[in-house]
Chains A and B, each alone.
Chain A
């Protein structure tokens, strides 16, 4: 009798296990799943010389507003302190600007060391500027990079066009000139 009791207990154990295990699987079907971590560097004060880092961007939305003038043929920089690995891919530069005559502003995103020496050129592009203040968007391909502590991202802005063309670049609340890079990205 005891032997049969043991068989019965074993049988019940297997039955319960078999019917309990399948319902514990959790699964959701998706066609695409992508994750990104964006760093948006808002310009927070006037652009500065490209020779030496001087932070004039911030990750939080700026409360103050302002503008600066960029002359044709001149170059100024936006600086951001960074560290760690950043994924390559699509980067974005958003410029709020106007000019005295139709022209363009070219830009280059670089990784520099703590003294401003260029370690790598990550991407570049150009945006057309007119006499109307407007939001100018440029997508550009960024190379992946690894920044050591103390390194900087430098976005240089160079005024194009005829010698007398002057560009006004706006920044801050409501005219948030900024550039965007992707810290990490994954998809499946």
Chain B
């Protein structure tokens, strides 16, 4: 009876060791480390930063999520005189169709990163690689200083 109990304990220990080994053997395609968090970046979309501009007139925010429109614009509410930040996102051959993504922009003018804003969009049902759309984020400020750090996430 004692031998059976000892055998069971050792068996559990052995299975636990296997379980431990199985957990750390998981592999993922790509990792980027930032601020201690591991990001899995699959690269289904291309993102390009366009820089900062001043809004010449006020306009309403786009309905969310924005429907994909090649060459179109998806924007937060713009106030005339505010600086806004522009991002272009383009589709790749691997972009999943009819999928909704959230675009978030963080910025830092020297006092730490803060969220500028976020927008959502839905990819078209038929993907055409190379199609792009511009995303506009009002900074909420008429004054802007450089250098400015920008982090864009799409997920």
Cross-interface CB contact of B143 among A10, A25, A61, A92, cutoff 8 Å: A61
| Nearest residue, chain A, Cβ from B34 | A33
- Given known contacts A18-B16, A30-B40, A35 and B150 CB-to-CB distance under 8 angstroms: yes
Q: How large is the interface on A (under 10, 10 to 19, 20 to 34, 35 or more residues)?
A: 35 or more
Interface string of A20-36 (1 = CB under 8 A from B): 01100111111111111
Cα separation A180 to B147 with both chains bound (whole Å): 10
Cα separation A38 to B52 with both chains bound (whole Å): 9
Interface string of A61-73 (1 = CB under 8 A from B): 1000000000000
Which B residues are in CB contact (< 8 Å) with A38? 49, 51-52, 146-150
Count of interface residues, chain B, beta-carbon cutoff 8 Å:
52
Cross-interface CB contact of A33 among B2, B23, B148, B151, cutoff 8 Å: B151
Which of A137-163 touch B at CB < 8 Å?
137, 139
Interface residue? B54 (CB, 8 A) = yes
Which B residues are in CB contact (< 8 Å) with A134? 56
Is B10 a contact partner of A7 (Cβ separation < 8 A)? yes
Cα separation A112 to B34 with both chains bound (whole Å): 35
Is B49 a contact partner of A188 (Cβ separation < 8 A)? no
Interface residue? A119 (CB, 8 A) = no
Most buried by B among A18, A41, A94, A139: A18
Interface residue? A40 (CB, 8 A) = yes
Cα separation A135 to B12 with both chains bound (whole Å): 72
- Given known contacts A90-B50, A185-B49, A187-B47, A33 and B145 CB-to-CB distance under 8 angstroms: no
- Given known contacts A22-B23, A59-B146, A180-B51, A31 and B41 CB-to-CB distance under 8 angstroms: yes
Interface residue? B127 (CB, 8 A) = no
Which A residues are in CB contact (< 8 Å) with B42? 29-31
Q: SS class of chain A's interface: helix, strand, loop or mixed?
A: strand
Cα separation A29 to B155 with both chains bound (whole Å): 7
Is A21 a contact partner of B152 (Cβ separation < 8 A)? no
Q: How far is the CB of A79 from chain B (nearest CB, A)?
A: 16
Is B23 a contact partner of A21 (Cβ separation < 8 A)? yes
Interface string of B70-110 (1 = CB under 8 A from A): 00000000000100000001000000000001000000000
Which B residues are in CB contact (< 8 Å) with A19? 16
Is A18 a contact partner of B17 (Cβ separation < 8 A)? yes
Interface residues of B (CB under 8 A from A): 2, 6, 9-10, 12-13, 16-17, 19-20, 23-24, 28, 30, 32, 34, 36-54, 56, 81, 89, 101, 143-155
Could you jot down 30 A-B contacts, CB within 8 Å? A4-B2, A11-B10, A11-B12, A14-B13, A14-B17, A15-B12, A27-B28, A27-B37, A27-B38, A27-B39, A27-B40, A28-B40, A29-B42, A30-B39, A30-B40, A30-B41, A32-B43, A32-B45, A32-B47, A32-B152, A33-B154, A34-B47, A35-B149, A35-B152, A38-B146, A38-B147, A90-B48, A92-B51, A134-B56, A139-B50
The 7 tightest CB contacts between A and B, nearest first, are A18-B16, A40-B146, A11-B13, A32-B154, A92-B51, A30-B155, A18-B20
